[in-house]
Chains A and B, each alone.
Chain A
Amino acid sequence: TQLLEQSPQFLSIQEGENLTVYCNSSSVFSSLQWYRQEPGEGPVLLVTVVTGGEVKKLKRLTFQFGDARKDSSLHITAAQPGDTGLYLCAGVRDSNYQLIWGAGTKLIIKP
Chain B
Amino acid sequence: KNEVEQSPQNLTAQEGEFITINCSYSVGISALHWLQQHPGGGIVSLFMLSSGKKKHGRLIATINIQEKHSSLHITASHPRDSAVYICAVGGSNYKLTFGKGTLLTVNP
Tell whether A pairs with B: no
A interface list, Cβ under 8 A from B = none
B positions within 8 Å CB-CB of A: none
